[in-house]
Amino acid sequence: MRADRLVAVLLLMQTRGRVTAAELAAELEVSVATARRDLEALAAAGVPVYPQPGRGGGWSLVGGARTDLSGLTAAEAQALFLLAGPAAVSPEARAALRKLVTALPRTFRADAQAATDATMIDPAGWGERDRLRPEIVDLLQTAVVRRRKVRLTYAGRAREPGERLVDPWGLIDKDDIWYLLAGTGQGRRTFRIDRIITAETTDEPAERPDDFALATAWQEVVEEIERRRSRTWATVTVEERYLPVLRDQFGRHCHPDGDPDQGRVRVRLAAPTPLDIARHLAGWGALIDVLDPPSVRAELARIGAELLARHPTRT
């Protein structure tokens, strides 16, 4: 986990004063290239590490060897935690960051902890890929940490763009799709970052519940979305060798049901509507049999009839 390594790199540099990429690679059991990228990532984030070229060189932490982080400025500490925090998916990585917070000067701890909690990564995908981190994420991260309201121009799925003033609570990277969890006049709302047209940080202080925990709140959002995405269930049979393909298509809404029988396996699939399931399965043709419900079978028959009418066989 990269967050663990970034913390380990910084602690090693504090105790040794100067290290080489090769020494870090051996210590952390990674490649030299990976160790060098971690050092460069710390430097790019504003943490005061710098390379010393030539024989006997390496990478040093400004101020030499230290047993605490008192040499970091407020901005440098925040940069480290903004960099490492989102990657800290495992409980161990989060624990490491919490320990690192306690090593900071007292005046920096609140911002460092806020930066750690400002963003999280949910590795479970919803089927979309190849998206880049939007530039607006940095602005929103800063607003979360500084607790400032943000004025958004947001285009919903089926609405015209509108302006909203929100209290930013946290950011989530789910399968390379970014979301903003925020408080509004209508309560907690989730905004897809790629639907935010403009965002402007204001000078107004943002409000956030005292007991707010980003991971807990996001889990509630996920559970609600999953309930909406799994309103319709269908039972199908398919050759066992195709089960991985079906799993890739339906993700967590694909559940094998029982042991294979004569090379075929029974599977339960879910989607918001019968039409959604039928659209996913139409391309499978005779490779898949839909046992129930009748509504999915009817949608498949309708799709087949439409295709036949649009593309009649010519003799």
Average model confidence (pLDDT) for the chain? Answer: 79
The answer as to whether 129 is a domain residue is no
Read off the pLDDT of each residue in 268-279 and give the average, rounded to a whole number.
94
Q: Are 234 and 269 in contact (CB under 8 A)?
A: yes
The answer as to whether 122 is a domain residue is no
Instruction: Answer with the one of 63, 90, 117 that is the final residue of a domain.
Output: 117
State residue 282's pLDDT score. 93
**Cα(253)–Cα(270) distance, rounded to whole angstroms?**
5
* Distance in Å from the first CA to the final CA of the chain: 60
Q: At what angle do helices 2-16 and 21-28 cross, to 10 degrees?
A: 120
**Comparing 32-36, 41-45, 104-108, which segment has the lowest mean pLDDT?**
104-108
List, for residues 179-237, the tens digit of each pLDDT value: 999 999 999 999 999 899 999 999 999 998 988 888 889 889 888 888 887 889 999 99
**Cα(186)–Cα(167) distance, rounded to whole angstroms?**
12
**Comparing 128-137, 152-161, 220-229, 245-254, which segment has the lowest mean pLDDT?**
128-137
The backbone torsions φ and ψ at residue 159, rounded to the nearest 5 degrees and listed phi first, read: -130, 155
How far, rounded to the nearest angstrom, does the alpha carbon of residue 181 sit from its chain's CA centroid? 13
Q: How many domains does the chain have?
A: 3
Q: Who wins on pLDDT, 91 or 194?
A: 194
State residue 67's pLDDT score. 39
For strands 119-122 and 162-174, give the pairing: parallel
Annotate 81-97 with DSSP letters as a single string.
HHHHGGG--SHHHHHHH
Q: Who wins on pLDDT, 51 or 164?
A: 164
What is the domain range of residue 263?
Answer: 230-310
Residue identified by tokens 């380990």 is 8
- Same domain? For 161 and 210 the reply is yes
pTM, to two decimals: 0.50
State residue 226's pLDDT score. 81
**Comparing 3-7, 70-74, 213-217, 261-265, which segment has the lowest mean pLDDT?**
70-74
- Same domain? For 23 and 65 the reply is yes
- Same domain? For 77 and 103 the reply is yes
- Same domain? For 109 and 6 the reply is yes
State residue 265's pLDDT score. 96
State residue 129's pLDDT score. 47
Read off the pLDDT of each residue in 6-35 and give the average, rounded to a whole number.
77
CATH number of the CATH domain containing 258? 3.30.70
Instruction: Answer with the one of 85, 117, 149 that is the final residue of a domain.
Output: 117
State residue 144's pLDDT score. 86
Position 1 pLDDT exceeds 50: no
For strands 196-205 and 148-154, give the pairing: antiparallel
- Same domain? For 101 and 176 the reply is no
**Band of the pLDDT at 130, cuts 50, 70, 90?**
very low
- Same domain? For 245 and 177 the reply is no
Read off the pLDDT of each residue in 162-184 and give the average, rounded to a whole number.
89
The backbone torsions φ and ψ at residue 206, rounded to the nearest 5 degrees and listed phi first, read: -90, 150
**Cα(194)–Cα(184) distance, rounded to whole angstroms?**
19
- Same domain? For 69 and 140 the reply is no
The answer as to whether 315 is a domain residue is no
The answer as to whether 127 is a domain residue is no
List, for residues 41-79, the tens digit of each pLDDT value: 777 766 777 777 766 678 887 654 343 455 555 555 555
Calculate the alpha carbon distances from 304 to 184, 279, 285, 301 in Å.
45, 10, 9, 5
- Same domain? For 220 and 287 the reply is no
Specify whether the backbone of 297 is left (phi greater than 0), alpha (psi in -120 to 50) or beta.
Answer: alpha
State residue 132's pLDDT score. 60
The answer as to whether 126 is a domain residue is no
State residue 96's pLDDT score. 54
- Same domain? For 155 and 166 the reply is yes
Please, is 50 exposed, middle or buried when counting C-beta atoms within 10 Å of its C-beta (0-12, 13-18, 19+)? exposed
